Amino acid sequence: MANIIDGKAVAAKVRQRVAEEVKQLAEKNITVGLAVVIVGDNQASRVYVNNKKKACAEVGITSYEYALPESTTEEELLTLVDKLNNDDSVNGILVQLPLPKQINENKIINAISPKKDVDAFHPENVGHIMIGDYHFLPCTPAGVMELIAETGTDVCGKSCVVIGRSNIVGKPMAMLLLHKNGTVTMTHSKTQNLKEICANADILVAAVGKAGFVTADMVKPGAVVIDVGMNRNAQGKLCGDVDFEGCKEKAGWITPVPGGVGPMTIAMLMQNTVTAAKK
């Protein structure tokens, strides 16, 4: 029976650490500010933004919210990003994705100053992650690394399998495991023998976006299983990419959904914002 990795508890530790750093900066008259931009009224985005505001308040970061209408043009959003790039009271800029279809997401990501890119999506920051001399890490993969560390597992030399190759989770996740000397296999929808590959993993990270995709026969006994998925099952209940009930019988450690990776993403965003302020 697996040990459950409590993301809420680990995230609380990270937020406490961040609050200390914010306090130390305040003693030097440095305030930390995060600007969050939301375009349109996507319900999921609104929930995320509210959670980010709550986390900022908890750790002492000033949050600035810019809620723009669905009809906002690309030009208008670029103008706002430019204004925030040049605003000294703003250390981090986060544009909540997805954006309405008239706006090119890549153009917006590229317009954010790499020094204020607390999501670590800018190509310059992605390049730094690739070569290992980064300031910021994408929030979700960074949170996953904290959760793995919490289990006491040393990544060095372990067989690590990542399911999913997105720019936001899969690719940077593989790089972070590699930087810790893991032996990393990246898998995706075109991978052959996926079941066998996963069943050999000491550390299995699922970020595929399909409810219950990872079943017990894909898990090595005693493995660390991290579920990045956030889906709704047939009953409309929140669930991950991992069949939790089946896999917890075999895994050594496993994250629940909700309450696993989710809280870590916002905690690491707070960490990145403080890092930006220090820089």
Q: Does 43 participate in catalysis according to the annotation?
A: no
The length of the chain, given as a count of residues: 279
Cα–Cα distance between 30 and 33 in angstroms, integer?
10
Q: Please pick, among 116, 117, 119, 171, the residue that the annotation labels catalytic.
A: 119
Q: Does 96 participate in catalysis according to the annotation?
A: yes
Cα–Cα distance between 74 and 278 in angstroms, integer?
31
145 neighbors 180 (Cβ within 8 angstroms): yes
Cα–Cα distance between 213 and 116 in angstroms, integer?
36
DSSP codes of every residue in the chain: -PEE--HHHHHHHHHHHHHHHHHHHHHTT---EEEEEEES--HHHHHHHHHHHHHHHHHT-EEEEEEE-TT--HHHHHHHHHHHHT-TT--EEEEPSS--TTS-HHHHHHHS-TTTBTT--SHHHHHHHHHT--S---HHHHHHHHHHHHTT---TT-EEEEE---TTTHHHHHHHHHHTT-EEEEE-TT-TTHHHHHHT-SEEEE-S--TT-B-GGGS-TT-EEEE---EE-TTS-EE-SB-HHHHTTT-SEE--SSSSHHHHHHHHHHHHHHHHHH-
Q: Please pick, among 8, 24, 53, 96, the residue that the annotation labels catalytic.
A: 96
Q: Please pick, among 13, 41, 43, 52, the residue that the annotation labels catalytic.
A: 52
- Annotated catalytic residues are 52, 96, 119
